[in-house]
Amino acid sequence: VLPGSADAAGQPATLGVMGGGQLGRMFVHAAQRLGYFTAVLDPDAQSPAGRVSHHHIQTAYDDPAGLAQLAGLCQAITTEFENVPAQALQALARTRPVAPGAAVVGIAQNRIAEKAHFASCADRSGVSCGPYAVIETLAQLQAVQADRADLLPGILKTARLGYDGKGQVRVRTAVELAAAWAELGGGACVLEKLLPLTAECSVLVARGWDGRVVSFAPQRNVHVDGILAVTHAYEGNMPPALAKSARDATVSIAHHIGYVGVLCVEFFVVDDGSEHGGLVVNEMAPRPHNSGHYTLDACDVSQFDLQVRALAGLPLPPPRQHSPAIMLNLLGDGWFDASGQPREPDWPAVLSLPGTHLHLYGKSPARPGRKMGHLTITGPDVASVKTVARRAAGLLG
Ligand code: ADP
Ligand code: MG
154 in ligand 1 pocket by Cβ < 6 Å?
no
Using the predicted structure, report yes or no on whether residue 275 has a pLDDT greater than 70.
no
Which ligand 1 atom is the nearest neighbour of the CA of 132? 23
Q: How remote is the C-alpha of 211 from its chain's centroid?
A: 21
- Indicate the Cα dihedral angle 359, 33, 108, 254, nearest 10°: -120
Question: 276: pLDDT confidence band, cut at 50, 70 and 90?
Answer: low
Distance separating alpha carbons of residues 261 and 285, to the nearest angstrom: 11
Q: At what angle do helices 174-183 and 138-147 cross, to 10 degrees?
A: 160
Distance separating alpha carbons of residues 94 and 255, to the nearest angstrom: 23
Q: Within the chain, what is the greatest distance between any pair of CA atoms?
A: 67
Distance separating alpha carbons of residues 9 and 159, to the nearest angstrom: 45
Helices (H), the chain: 22-33, 64-73, 86-93, 102-108, 111-120, 122-125, 138-147, 174-183, 240-256, 295-298, 303-312, 347-351, 382-396
DSSP letters of 310-327?
Answer: HHHT---PPP-B-S-EEE
Q: What does the pLDDT read at residue 229?
A: 97
Q: What does the pLDDT read at residue 396?
A: 94
Q: What does the pLDDT read at residue 7?
A: 86
Residue 165 alpha carbon to ligand 1 centre in Å: 7
115 is in an annotated binding site: no
Distance separating alpha carbons of residues 26 and 49, to the nearest angstrom: 8
Ranking 7-16, 89-98, 301-310, 312-321 by mean pLDDT, the lowest is 7-16
195 is in an annotated binding site: yes
Q: Which ligand is nearest to the CA of 129?
A: 1
pLDDT digits (tens, 9 = 90+) for 46-75: 999 999 999 999 999 999 999 999 999 999
Residue 228 alpha carbon to ligand 2 centre in Å: 8
229 in ligand 1 pocket by Cβ < 6 Å?
no
Distance separating alpha carbons of residues 75 and 54, to the nearest angstrom: 14
pLDDT digits (tens, 9 = 90+) for 324-383: 999 999 999 999 999 999 999 999 999 999 999 999 999 999 999 999 999 999 999 999
283 in ligand 1 pocket by Cβ < 6 Å?
yes
Q: What does the pLDDT read at residue 89?
A: 96
Q: Which domains does the chain have, with CATH numbers?
A: 14-98 (3.40.50.20), 131-193 (3.30.1490.20), 197-396 (3.30.470.20)
Q: What does the pLDDT read at residue 183?
A: 95
Q: Which of 112, 227, 268 to mutate to test the pocket of ligand 1 (most atoms within 8 A of CB)?
A: 268
Distance separating alpha carbons of residues 212 and 274, to the nearest angstrom: 32
226 in ligand 1 pocket by Cβ < 6 Å?
yes
What is the helix (H) or strand (E) element at residue 269, kind and residue range?
strand 261-270
Q: By alpha-carbon position, which residue is closest to atom 18 of ligand 1?
A: 226
Peptide bond before residue 365 is cis, with ω within 30 degrees of 0: yes
Which ligand 1 atom is the nearest neighbour of the CA of 195? 24
Distance separating alpha carbons of residues 30 and 308, to the nearest angstrom: 7
Write the single-letter amino acid at 394: G
Distance separating alpha carbons of residues 331 and 370, to the nearest angstrom: 5
166 is in an annotated binding site: yes
Using the predicted structure, report yes or no on whether residue 274 has a pLDDT greater than 70.
no
pLDDT digits (tens, 9 = 90+) for 227-251: 999 999 999 999 999 999 999 999 9
Residue 359 alpha carbon to ligand 2 centre in Å: 21
Question: What ipTM was estimated for this complex?
Answer: 0.98
Q: Which of 114, 132, 157, 168 to mutate to test the pocket of ligand 1 (most atoms within 8 A of CB)?
A: 168
Using the predicted structure, report yes or no on whether residue 163 has a pLDDT greater than 90.
no
Residue 83 alpha carbon to ligand 2 centre in Å: 14
